[in-house]
Amino acid sequence: MTLIESADIKIVGVGEGTWPTMRSTLERIGVSETALFRECDASFKQGGKFTGWTTGAADDAYYHPLMIPQGFSQVNLVPHWLQAGQGRSFCDFVTPQGRLCDEGLAPKTITHGEYKGSANYAYHIDAGKFAPFLARHCIEKLGVRHVLADVVQINQKESGDIDGVLTRQAGEILGDLFIDCSGFSALLLGKTLGVGFKGCGDVLFCDTALAMQVPYDSADAPMASQTISTAHEAGWTWDISLPTRRGIGYVYSSRHQSEESARQTLLRYIGPGHEDLPVRKIPIRAGHREIFWKRNCVAVGLASGFLEPLESSAIVLVELSAKLIAEQLPAHRDVMDIVARRFNEVTMYRFGRIVDFLKLHYVLTQRTDTAFWRDNVDPATVPERLRDLLTLWKYQSPWYFDEMDRLEEVFPAASYQYVLYGMRFKTEVPPEDTADSAPTAARLVRENERQTQELRSRLPRNRELLDKIYQYGLQPV
């Protein structure tokens, strides 16, 4: 395997929120978790906190945690919460994780081995450090050949397959299968093989990001355990706590807000004293390629498409695509088109589901204060599948059955539950529907309380644990 990378064309270098799949991906390829924390400025992520999305009022906030509800496979706790749990958020009714986040607690202790924890977790990472860290690992431990060179031409066979790529510094490099990881330019799949781009800006309006790196006031400032996504007049800010700084950005719709006004929104969110920090503008185009694998070329990452980073769905798609390619790697050119068809079907499904899930965050809003929020609830902007589900969910909540659809669903039914009921969606539940499962539900709710208290008393704060990891390291797997 050869990785060709330009020394001059920089990686996009943003993308600081990951999904818990990252733990199994890194473990599987033999990366040390301790090294990840020490070298990539990584921290723990236990979910997202969404503020201002439902009403925009001061107390408007909910969590999308990474732990699934207690006893998820046995009982659906949604109807029980709808009937009896009011006064407590859905998240607090079914999992300890929101309260762990409220207190800035880590998901594990120093005695947990690498990749193990008491609470489910992913990472916040410095993308600029993580990419070279992974490259080093792959070169030194996995035998990947790394060529620093610019691809200037792509040579095709008569059949249309890619034969090789011509580089400025290292001549032509031939191959059987080409993975297009060239970022937004989609050099191989888009520019060479002519696969078109399917935009979805009519559903997801945000098309620009302004990103900043903001220092802490002091080296020991507390670190949030979750990504904080705050809704504003024409988009939302991400706020990610890394050990040495915060990564903060505003993702907005340029159709609804000017760049100057968006900058003011971002600076207002960050607070005074940061006006002179550099702001990086990144245009984003919501959508994906019409297909992802054509002939002997498959696109992964930004070359395959991009959807706004509200739920950190990009890197998880990279992981899932890489896994699928590795597992299904065609043994012969004769079977490649069959594998490609299957890959395209799964990846198209995944992009579609992510679009639905992201739109869910917008369509449930009760905000009417700006055109951005009013336009977002226009039924014409809601994909048909999501419209159907919203109708269904008025009478039954998403649950176990709903994730039997596909293996390795990016967002499981639990994620839909957290967003729906975090945003005060109403599902009608007749009392007789909960009678049989009431004793089990009551036990699970008690167990949740017990576990919450136990974890709160035992788990360290993020910085405390990170300092111990820097000093002693975690037990290797």
List residues near ligand FAD by CB under 6 A.
4-6, 9, 11-12, 14-18, 127, 150-151, 181-183, 185, 187, 209, 211, 249, 282, 284, 301-303, 309, 312, 314-315, 318
The nearest distance, CB 206 to ligand FAD, in angstroms, is 10
Residue among 321 and 434 whose Cβ is closer to ligand FAD: 321
| Shortest distance (Å) from residue 243 CB to ligand FAD | 17
Amino acid present at 291: I
How far apart are the C-alpha atoms of 377 and 339, rounded to whole Å?
38
* Min CB(191)–ligand FAD separation in Å: 10
Q: At what angle do helices 313-328 and 21-28 cross, to 10 degrees?
A: 40
> Which residues lie below 8 Å from residue 366, measured CB to CB, with a gap of 6+?
54, 55, 424
Report whether 292 contacts 172 (CB < 8 A). no
Minimum separation from the CB atom of position 73 to ligand FAD (A): 27
Active site residues: 45
Residues facing residue 146 across a β-bridge? 3
Residue 6 CB, shortest distance to ligand FAD, in Å, is 4
Nearest approach, Cβ of residue 411 and ligand FAD (Å): 13
State which residue, 15 or 71, has the beta carbon closest to ligand FAD: 15
Nearer to ligand FAD, 237 or 434 (CB): 237
For ligand FAD, give the closer residue by CB, 224 or 284.
284
Specify the residue, 9 or 326, whose C-beta has the smaller distance to ligand FAD. Answer: 9
**Largest separation between any pair of C-alpha atoms in the chain:** 72
Supply the minimum distance, in Å, between the C-beta of residue 450 and ligand FAD: 34
Decide whether 17 or 398 has the Cβ nearer to ligand FAD. 17
Q: In this chain, which residue has its C-beta nearest to ligand FAD?
A: 301
Decide whether 114 or 319 has the Cβ nearer to ligand FAD.
Answer: 319
